[in-house]
Chains A and B, each alone.
Chain A
Amino acid sequence: MIRLRDLRKRFGRVEVLQGIDLDVAAGEVLVLIGPSGSGKSTLLRCINHLEKPSGGEVWVAGEQVNRGDLSHRSLQRHLNRVRTHMGMVFQQFNLFPHKTVLENIVEAPLQVLGRPREEVEKSAEELLAKVGLSDKRDAYPGNLSGGQQQRVAIARALAMRPEVMLFDEVTSALDPELVGEVLKVMEDLAAEGMTMIVVTHEMGFAERVADRVVFMADGVIVEQGAPREIFSAPQEERTQRFLRDIL
C-alpha cells in the first residue's frame, strides 16, 4: 500500500531523513516511535507531500506521490488526487473554526469529490455516530473539548473514504483524561482493517494495537518489529536507551 524508497529530507543543511526504506501493507497498523527530532513526523508528512522530499520515492496505492517531472499546476492536480487516498489527523486538530462540526466533515467530500449533499450529510452523521459525537453535529469547534475536536478531525478525514490514515501525534496536545476517547476510536478503526501509520508517544497503544513498531532516531530507522519484540527485547542499544528513558 505504501512504499518508501531511500526517502530523504533536508531542511537547509540539516538532513532530517537520511534514506528511509519502508513498506506498509494494506490493513497494517504501523506505529512510529522515537525521540523528538528523529524525523518521524517529517516522514509522515512526506507521505502526503505536506513536506516535499529532497530525495527518494514515495509510493501510495501504486502511484508515486512525489513526482518531480510535473509542472507546478499538474503537480497540484496530481497531489489533490492522491491525497484523497490518504487521511491525516494532526496534533493541533486543525478543524475549520468558522464551520460547524457537520460542515467540517462534509466540506471536502462536497467540494473536492463533488458528491451530492444528502448522501454526504448522511455519511457524515454515520461517522459522527461512530466517533460518539452525534449530538455535536451543529456545534462549532470552539465549543468542544480537545478530545471531541480530535474525534471530529478523525471523522473529517474518514469522510473522504481514504485507504490509509496518517496520525501525527494526535494525542500529544490533549489533557490526559481525554486521550483515552481518541485512542479508542483509533483502536476501533484498526480493528476494522484500516491501514494506519501512527506517530505517537502512547506506548500502551502501540503494544495493544500495532502490527509493527518502527523505532527511528536521527533520521534513520534503527529497529523495527512486532510490538512484543521491540518493547521486551530491543536489539539495538539506541532503542534500549529510548525505551529506558520513557518507560
Chain B
Amino acid sequence: MLDWSVIVHYSPFLLKGALLTLQISAVALVLGLAAGLVAALCILSRNPLLQWPARFYVWIVRATPLLVQLFLIYFGLPQFGMDFSPFWSGVLALALNTGAYNAETIRAGILAVPKGQIEAARSLGMGPSLTMRRIVLPQAVRMIIPPLGNNFVILIKDTSLVSTITLVELTLTAQRLIGSTYKPFEMYLMAALLYAVLTTTADFLLRQFEQRTLGVTP
C-alpha cells in the first residue's frame, strides 16, 4: 500500500524541514510572548495612548487571515522599502499573530487574580508596578499557561503557511519532494506525522512544566 522505501529514503530531508519549522516556531513563540505581554499591559493601563493602539493591534490581527498578514509583510512591505528575508517575514507575521491571541489570554489571566490580592499589596504600600511584578503576574501565570500552551501548538501548525514564501520548512519540503518521488500521499502523510510529533511533544513538555514548577494543577 504505502511505499515505505520512499519514506525511509527521503525522511532525512523531511527531518531537516521539521528542524526549520521548529526554529521558526521557537523564535516566533518568544517574540509572540513578548508582544502579547506588552499588548496586555497596554490594554490594562489607564493611559489611552497605550490602550488604543494595543486594542487596535489585537483587533486587526484577530480579524484578518494569517496568510494575508504574511503576504502583507513579505510582498507588501518592500513597496515601502522594508525588505525582510523570508525567515524574518515569516517569524514577524507569526509572532504578531500569536501575540494578539496571547494578549487576550494574558489579560484574562491578570484580571482573574482576585482583587483582594491587589488591595492587600496596596495597603502594604506597594505601588502598581511592584504589585504587578511580584503579586499579580506570578499568580496570573498559573492561569495563563494552559491556553498559552494551546496557542503554541497552533503556532507550530501555522508555520506551514510560510511554505508560501519560499521557506523550506516541513510543508514546502514535502511539496518539493513530490517532484522527485511522485508520491504525494506518502510525503504529506510523513509531514503530517512529523507535525503531530512536534505538537504532541510541545504539549507534553508544557504539561511537565506545569506540574513541576506550578505544582499539580487543580
Contacts of A157 in B (CB 8 A): 123-124
Q: Is the interface of B mostly helix, strand, loop or mixed?
A: helix
A171 at interface (Cβ–Cβ under 8 A)?
Answer: no
A76 at interface (Cβ–Cβ under 8 A)?
Answer: yes
The number of chain B residues touching the other chain, given as a range, is 20 to 34
- Residues of A in contact (CB 8 Å), total 30
Closest to B214 in A: A98
CB distance from A149 to the nearest CB of B (A): 12
**A-B contact sample (14 more), CB < 8 A, given A87-B123, A112-B124:** A48-B123, A79-B122, A80-B125, A80-B126, A86-B123, A88-B119, A94-B117, A96-B135, A108-B121, A108-B124, A108-B126, A156-B124, A160-B125, A166-B123
- Interfacial residues, chain B to chain A (CB-CB below 8 A): 46, 114, 116-117, 119-128, 130, 134-135, 138-139, 142
Inter-chain contact B116/A112, CB cutoff 8 Å: no
Contacts of B120 in A (CB 8 A): 88, 90, 94-96, 153
A122 at interface (Cβ–Cβ under 8 A)?
Answer: no
CB distance from B122 to the nearest CB of A (A): 6
Q: Is the interface of A mostly helix, strand, loop or mixed?
A: mixed
Contacting residue for B139 out of A98, A112, A153, CB 8 A: A98
Contacts of A113 in B (CB 8 A): 125
Q: How far is the CA of A157 from the CA of B124 in the complex (A)?
A: 7
Contacts of A84 in B (CB 8 A): 124-125
Inter-chain contact A92/B116, CB cutoff 8 Å: yes
- Interfacial residues, chain A to chain B (CB-CB below 8 A): 48, 50, 72, 76-77, 79-81, 83-84, 86-88, 90, 92, 94-98, 107-108, 111-113, 153, 156-157, 160, 166
Q: List 13 A-B contacts (CB under 8 A).
A: A50-B122, A76-B128, A77-B127, A83-B123, A86-B123, A90-B116, A90-B120, A92-B116, A96-B120, A107-B124, A108-B124, A112-B125, A157-B123
CB distance from B135 to the nearest CB of A (A): 6
Contacts of B114 in A (CB 8 A): 92, 94
Contacts of B119 in A (CB 8 A): 50, 88, 90, 94
CB distance from A48 to the nearest CB of B (A): 6
